[in-house]
Amino acid sequence: MQTLNRRQFLKLAGVASALAALPRAVGAATTPARVVVVGGGFGGATAAKYIRMWGDNVQVTLVDTNATHISCILSNLVMTGALSMSRITLGYSALKTNHGVNVLQGRAVAIDGAGNTVTVSTASGNRVLPYDHLVLSPGIDFIAPPAGAWDANLTPHAWQAGAQTTLLKNQLAAMRNGDLFVMTVPKSPYRCPPGPYERACVAADYLKRKGRVGAKVIVLDANASIQAEPVAFGEAFNVTHAGMIEYVPNATVQSVVSSTRSIVTSARTVNNAKVLNFIPNQKAGAIAAGLPLNAQGFVPVNPLTYGVAGYPNIHVIGDACAVPASDNKAVPKSGHMANSEAKVCADAIVRALAGEAPDDNVTTNSACYSPITARTASWLSANYNYGDIYDAAGNVKGKGMHRVDLGEADIIGGDNYEDMFTWADSLFADSFM
C-alpha cells in the first residue's frame, strides 16, 4: 500500500466525478477548521494524516494515551520471539513532520457533543479541545467474564499489544513437557477474526520447535465454528499441527479464575492450565460508551461519513464502529479496514468542511496475513462496496457496505510469509508516515 493522494484514493474508490474540485479550500476565511482525532492506532493515525493531506487550512490534533502505538499486527510473532517489540512499535513523529499533525499525549476522558469539545487528561492536567469534527478510533474494550476473579496481569489477553504481549511471551517460554496452553476465541464480532486461530498455530509451532513433549494448545471457541479461513485453519489444526491443537467449538465462557488459571465454559472446564490466554468478548473503547451503541456494544455509523446518528460532527472508525453490512458478510474489525475507513471518513470531513455532501460511491477493503508456522502463512482479503445490503434470505434490508469479493490463500506457504512483511510494512507506512 502506498501513500495515496486524494485524487488516487478517489480513483481507486471509483469516484471520477469527484476529481474536478481538488484540492478543497476549507473555510475561505483565515480561521482554520479544527479536527480532533482520539486514538492513534491504525484508524486514527490514518485519519489524521489524510485529513491534513487532503484538507486545506485544517488543524488536526491527534490524541493518544501513549507516546507510541504498538501494533497488534505481527504481535503473535513477538509472542514467539521471532520479532522484537521495536519491530511493531510505531511512532508519531512522521505524522508531525511530514503532515503537520499536532500530537497530544493524554487520555480523552469526556466528550461534550453539544459544546463540541473533548476533554483530555494529560500529565500536566486536563485540556479542553474544541473541535469542528471529532473522529474517535479508540479500538476495543473488554467485557469481563460473568463470574470468577479475572486478572489480565495473571492471565494475559495480549489482544492489545505491548506489556500484555511480553507477559504472554514469557508465560509461553516457561512452558515445559506436558503443559497446557489454553486460549479462548471471543464471541463474534471481535478484533481480527483470524487472529486467535493464528495465535493457536504459532504457539503450537513454538512448543513443537522447543521440543516440549506432550505440551498442547486447547482452543475454546465461543462461536460454533472457525470464524475466518476455515479451510486454512482446518488444515493447520488437523494436519500441520495435528495432535498439538485441540479445537473446542461452542465454548461460552462462564467463569475465569486467573490465580489458578482455571476456566469454565459451556463445553469444557480446565483447571490449572500452565498458560490461560483468556481473550474476553469485546466492545467499543470506553470513550465511545456515551454514544448510541448496538447490542454488542459497538457504535453504529453511516458508512459514507462514519458519522453517528444524532451527533452531526462525531465520527467513529475502526474496531469501535459497527458498519451496516449484508448478513453473514460482516465488515471485519482489522487494522487494514480501519485504515480504509479512515480515508473515507477523512474525505467526508474535508467535503463537509467545504460545504459539500459526502461521496456516495465508496469502497473499503481488508487484509489479514496469518503465520501458521515459523516459516509459513496464509492470508485473507475482502472488498466492500457501498450500496444495497441483504438479509440471509437475499432480500434488500437497507444500505451499507456489501462484500463483493473474498479472497483466501489456496496454500499455506513460505511466499505468503514473506509477503506478510511487505504488506504489513506498507500498511504501517500508509498509516503512520
Ligand X SMILES: Cc1cc2nc3c(=O)[nH]c(=O)nc-3n(C[C@H](O)[C@H](O)[C@H](O)COP(=O)(O)OP(=O)(O)OC[C@H]3O[C@@H](n4cnc5c(N)ncnc54)[C@H](O)[C@@H]3O)c2cc1C
Helix (H) or strand (E) holding 423: helix 414-432
CB under 6 A: which stretch of 7-15, 35-43, 245-253, 393-401 binds ligand X?
35-43
Please check whether residue 347 is in contact with residue 304, taking contact to mean a CB–CB distance below 8 angstroms.
Answer: no
Q: Is 41 in the site for ligand X (CB under 6 A)?
A: yes
Smallest distance from the beta carbon of 39 to ligand X, in angstroms?
A: 3
CA–CA dist 308, 292 (Å, integer): 8
Q: Which residues partner with 277 through β-bridges? A: 183
Asked if residue 138 binds ligand X (CB under 6 A), the reply is yes
371 binds ligand X (CB under 6 A): no
- Of 24, 35, 36, 44, which lies in the binding site for ligand X, with binding defined by CB under 6 A? 44
Cell of 419: 509477503
For residue 137, state whether it binds ligand X (rule: CB under 6 A). Answer: yes
Total interface residues for ligand X by CB under 6 A: 37
For position 319 contacting ligand X by CB under 6 A, the verdict is yes
**HSE of 153, CA atoms in CB hemisphere, 13 A:** 0
Q: DSSP assignment, residue 287?
A: G
Nearer to ligand X, 76 or 155 (CB): 76
For ligand X, give the closer residue by CB, 240 or 277: 277
Write out the binding residues for ligand X, residues 58-97 only, by CB under 6 A. 63-66, 69, 72-73, 75-76
Looking at the Cβ atoms of 42 and 262, the one nearer to ligand X is 42
Nearer to ligand X, 207 or 320 (CB): 320
Please name which of 380, 382, 376, 369 lies closest in space to residue 420, comparing C-alpha atoms: 369
Q: In sequence order, what DSSP letters do the residues of 10-43 get, joined into one string?
A: HHHTT-GGGGGGPSEE--SSSSPEEEEEE--SHH
Question: Contact between 39 and ligand X (CB under 6 A)?
Answer: yes
Cα–Cα dist 62/45, whole Å: 7
Cα 195 → chain centroid: 10
| Contact indicator for 265, 273 with CB cutoff of 8 Å | no
Nearest partner of 372 among 222, 230, 241, judged by Cα = 241
End-to-end CA distance of the chain: 12
- Tell me whether residue 89 or residue 260 sits nearer to ligand X (CB atom): 89
Range in contact with ligand X (rule: CB under 6 A) among 34-42, 94-102, 348-356, 410-418:
34-42
Measured CA to CA, the distance from residue 213 to residue 201 in angstroms comes to: 16
The reply on whether position 139 binds ligand X by CB under 6 A is yes
Q: Does 192 bind ligand X (CB under 6 A)?
A: yes
Binding mask 289-308 for ligand X (x = CB under 6 A): --------------------
9/159 with CB nearer ligand X: 159
* Cα–Cα dist 397/394, whole Å: 9
Cα 72–400–113 angle (5° rounding)? 70
The closest of 411, 401, 311, 403 to 361, measured between CA atoms, is: 401
Residues β-bridged to residue 257: 149, 262
Stretch that binds ligand X, among 92-100, 214-222, 301-309, 312-320 (CB under 6 A): 312-320
Q: Give the number of other Cβ atoms within 10 Å of residue 400's Cβ.
A: 22
Rounded to the nearest whole angstrom, what is the least distance from the CB of residue 355 to ligand X in the complex? 28
Candidate residues 24, 34, 52, 191; the one interacting with ligand X per rule CB under 6 A = 191
Give the nearer residue to ligand X in terms of CB position, either 61 or 334: 334
Which residue minimizes CB distance to ligand X?
Answer: 41
Output 191 or 241, the one with its CB closest to ligand X.
Answer: 191
For ligand X, the closer CB: 42 or 131: 42
CB of 403 to ligand X, least distance (A): 16
* Residue 207, all three cell numbers: 512448543
Interface with ligand X by CB under 6 A: which residues? 38-44, 63-66, 69, 72-73, 75-76, 107-108, 137-139, 159, 191-192, 195, 285, 287, 318-320, 333-336, 338, 368-369
